[in-house]
Amino acid sequence: MNRRELYHRFVSLIVLFTTILICSEPLAAQKPRADSLTRELTKVNADSNRVTLLWKLASATSVFNPDTALTIGFEALSLARKIDFMEGESRSNGILANTFFKIGNYSKALELNIEKLKIEEKRNVPLNLASVLMNIGIVYAFQEEYPKALEYYRQADSIIQSNNVKKLKYNIALNTGDTYDRLNLSDSAFRYFILSLDLARQDEDDDLIGTSMTGLGHSYRKMGRFKESMEHYEAAIGYLKAAGDDEMLCETTLGLARLFEETKQYDSASHYATLSLNVAKSGKFLSKELDAAQFLTDHYKKIRAIDSAFSYVDYVKSLNEELNSRDKIRESQVISSNEQYRQLELQEEKAREHKKRAQQLQMLLIAIFIPGIFLLTLMLSRVNVPVKLIRVLGVLSLLFLFEYLTLLLHPTVANLTHHTPVLEILIFVALAAILIPMHHKLEHWLIHKLLQHRHKHAMAHQHHPAPEIPAVADIKKSPADNNG
C-alpha cells in the first residue's frame, strides 16, 4: 500500500471513533444548539457558567464555522484564566485543539492539547486525563509519528485500565491496534483489534463491530490467514451496511479486493474494488475514491487488461488534482487559522497591558496619597481640631505606608519563591515580625510629635497675643478730641 492510501485509511478508521471528534451529533442538530447557547449567553455574567456556555457554543459552532469557533473558544479560554476556572480552561483548550484538528492544523492542535494536559495533570479526573493523552497520540499518528502516538496511547491505556474508564476502552483499543497496523506489527494489531471487537459486541453497536472486524480483516490478511480475513471482511460489510457507515464500507470492500488479488481471484478483486469506488463516489469520499481507482489501475495493469487500466489513468489523474487542490486549500486554512489565533492573542495581550497600566496608575496615586495624608495631618496639628482626629489621621497614614510596602513587595516575593505558598508565608511572617513592632513604635512617636507640635503652636499663640483694637468709645475720649 502506498503512503497516500495508508494515510487516508488511517483517517477513516480513527476519526469516527475517538474522543477528538468535533461533535457527536449531526450537523443539522448543531446549528439549533448553537442558537440556543447564544441566547443563554445573554443571560449570564462573566463567571464559570459563562465560560461553560462559551466552550459548548464553540464546540457546536466548529462543525459548520471553524473560524467563529476559534474566536468563541478563545474568549472562553481568556475568561477562564481571568477567573481562575481550571475546568473551563481545560475544556476551552480542548475545544480549540479539536477545532484546529478539524481544520488540519495539527501542530497547533498538538500545542493546545499539551496545554490541556498540563492542567489535567494537576487535577484528579481520570476520564479527562486519559482523553487528552489519547488525543495527543492521535495528532502524532496523523503526522505519521507512530512511535510517539503509541507512547501516549500507553499512558492513556494505563489510566483507563487502572481507573476502569469504560467510556474510552473501545477507543484506546481501536486506536492502538490501528497504529500497530500502520507499523505492520500485525500480531500486536491483532491483539488490540480483538479486544476492541469484544468491547463493541458488549455495546451491541453495529458500526463499532464492523470497524473492528475490518481491522481484524487487515491483520489476518497481513498474517497470511486468508480464510479468517475473508470471514471478517464479509461479516464487517453486513454490520456496516446495517449501520449506514458508507465511508468505512469503502475501506472494507477495498480490503476484501486486496485479499482476492493476493489469492489470485482477480474477478472478485475487480468486483469489490469497483463496489468500493462506486460507494465512495456516491458518498463523495474523495480519498476513498482515489484509493479504489488507483487499485483498479494497478490491478488491471497486473492482469494485463491494458484497455481497462488505461481508462482509469486519467480518472486517477483528475482525482489527484482535486485532492491536491484540497490540500492547498487546507494549507491556506492552516496559515489563516494561525494568524487568526495570533491576532486573538495580541488582543488579549493588549488587554493585559491596559490592566497593568491601570494598576500602575493606582500604585502611583497611592504613593502620592500617602505623603498627602501625612501633610494633611501636619497641617491639622496647627488647627484647633479634636486630638482624636489627629490621632486617627496619624494612624491611618502609617497603616497606608506599611500596607503599601507589603503590596510593593508581594510580586517580588512571589517571583523569588516561584509562587510557592509556604515560602511566601515564611517571608511575609518574617517581614511582619519586623514591621509590626516598627509600626507601633512609629505610631506612638508620630502621634507624640504631632501633639507636641500642636502644643508648642498653642503656647506660641499664648506668649504673643494679637494687638487689641481700641474700642469706639475710647477713641472719642482721646486728648486730641478733648483739645478740640
Cα separation, 18 vs 359, in Å, equals 46
Check: pTM over 0.95? Answer yes or no. Answer: no
Per-residue model confidence (pLDDT) at position 480: 45
Cα separation, 253 vs 295, in Å, equals 12
Cα separation, 246 vs 243, in Å, equals 9
Cα separation, 183 vs 1, in Å, equals 12
Per-residue model confidence (pLDDT) at position 47: 82
C-alpha cell at 85: 476556572
H/E stretch holding 455: helix 421-463
Cα separation, 312 vs 250, in Å, equals 18
C-alpha cell at 278: 462506486
Per-residue model confidence (pLDDT) at position 378: 64
Q: How many other C-beta atoms are found inside a 10 Å radius of the C-beta of residue 231?
A: 15
Cα separation, 102 vs 63, in Å, equals 9
Give the side-chain half-sphere CA count within 13 A for 322: 13
pLDDT (tens digit per residue) in 369-404: 777 776 776 666 666 666 677 667 667 776 777 777
SS3 category, 120: helix
Question: In this structure, are residues 393 and 377 in contact, taking their beta carbons and an 8 Å threshold?
Answer: yes
Per-residue model confidence (pLDDT) at position 456: 66
Q: pLDDT tens per residue, the chain (484 residues)?
A: 444 444 444 444 444 344 444 334 455 556 777 777 777 776 666 688 899 999 999 998 888 888 899 999 999 999 999 888 999 999 999 999 999 998 889 999 999 999 999 999 999 899 999 999 999 999 999 999 999 999 999 999 999 999 999 999 999 999 999 999 999 999 999 999 999 999 999 999 999 999 999 999 999 999 999 999 999 999 999 999 999 999 999 999 999 999 999 999 999 999 999 999 999 999 989 889 999 999 999 999 998 888 888 888 888 888 888 878 777 777 888 888 888 888 888 888 888 788 778 877 887 787 777 777 767 766 666 666 666 776 676 677 767 777 777 777 777 887 888 778 888 788 877 877 776 677 667 666 766 666 666 666 666 655 555 455 454 444 444 444 444 3
Nearest to 330 by CA among 91, 2, 11: 11
Per-residue model confidence (pLDDT) at position 145: 94
**Cα end-to-end distance, the chain, whole Å:** 140
Per-residue model confidence (pLDDT) at position 3: 40
Cα separation, 239 vs 228, in Å, equals 17
Q: How far is CA 374 from CA 192, 379, 394, 453, in A?
A: 77, 9, 7, 14
Nearest to 184 by CA among 400, 397, 458, 1: 1
Nearby residues of 455 by Cβ (< 8 Å), 6 or more positions away: none
Question: In this structure, are residues 20 and 130 in contact, taking their beta carbons and an 8 Å threshold?
Answer: no
Nearby residues of 248 by Cβ (< 8 Å), 6 or more positions away: 12, 13, 16, 207, 210, 211, 214, 240
Question: In this structure, are residues 218 and 182 in contact, taking their beta carbons and an 8 Å threshold?
Answer: no
C-alpha cell at 366: 497611592
Cα separation, 284 vs 297, in Å, equals 20
Cα 408 off chain centre by: 33
Per-residue model confidence (pLDDT) at position 25: 47
User: What is the secondary structure of 207-220 as a DSSP string?
Assistant: HHHHHHHHHHHHHH
Cα separation, 55 vs 442, in Å, equals 54
Per-residue model confidence (pLDDT) at position 189: 96
Cα separation, 153 vs 151, in Å, equals 5
C-alpha cell at 344: 486573538
Per-residue model confidence (pLDDT) at position 272: 96
SS3 category, 384: coil
pLDDT (tens digit per residue) in 98-119: 999 988 899 999 999 999 999 9
C-alpha cell at 172: 484506546
Amino acid at residue number 156: A
Per the document, the length of the chain is 484
Cα separation, 2 vs 258, in Å, equals 13
Nearby residues of 163 by Cβ (< 8 Å), 6 or more positions away: 126, 127, 130
Residue that the C-alpha cell 481640631 belongs to: 385
Cα separation, 147 vs 168, in Å, equals 21
